[in-house]
Amino acid sequence: MRKTKSGFTIVELLIVIVVIGILAAITIVAFNGVQERSRNAKTITGAKEYIKALSLYAVDNGSYPDTSAACLGDGYNYTGYPGSCAGASSIYPDAAFNAALAKYFSTKPQLDTTNITIYTNNVRAGGYYDKNVGTYGTVYYILAGTTATCDAGGSKSLSSDPGITGFFCAYYLPKPL
């Protein structure tokens, strides 16, 4: 009677380990940037909702809300400026702005509130509305990375400064009807 040893050889184990390593590397590359794209999608969706609401408000009232600057959404946590979506620029959520647009939302849109550096020492998050910029006002929204596009509309402003983690899109509101 002949006895046989059962089990794996060292070569077979090494081959399995190499295959697992290759599959792990492929997975990491495939999912690289998924969180960034997810945060940008949330911001773009929220910005689109605010642009639609502002357009409807302008149709109903003949102008856009007369708010100098207001954050889109809330939940911002900027270091040193709690609640600000634009840090040292001191732009905060505005209750009157939110109340004026409330009837145009089934639920208030939220933008991603992750702090993103768009220029040296200039950190922003989410987005904001500024009545004083552009002919009729502007909606700014901040995106992470440098390859995203301004899918909610507007032009892309990208810094060439080293170490920048994002940029902002400026959507200039059209003349109310």
The CA distance from 170 to 148, in Å, is 14
Per-residue pLDDT band for 35 (boundaries 50, 70, 90) equals: confident
Per-residue pLDDT band for 68 (boundaries 50, 70, 90) equals: confident
Per-residue pLDDT band for 42 (boundaries 50, 70, 90) equals: very high
CA distances in angstroms from 139 to 10, 83, 112, 125, 162, listed in the order given: 62, 18, 15, 13, 26
Per-residue pLDDT band for 57 (boundaries 50, 70, 90) equals: very high
Per-residue pLDDT band for 72 (boundaries 50, 70, 90) equals: very high
Print burial letters for 154-177: b (CB count within 10 Å at least 16), e (below 16): beeeebeeeebebbbbbbebeebe
pTM, two decimals, is 0.81
- The strand order across the sheet containing 138-144 reads 69-71, 127-130, 138-144, 166-172, 155-157
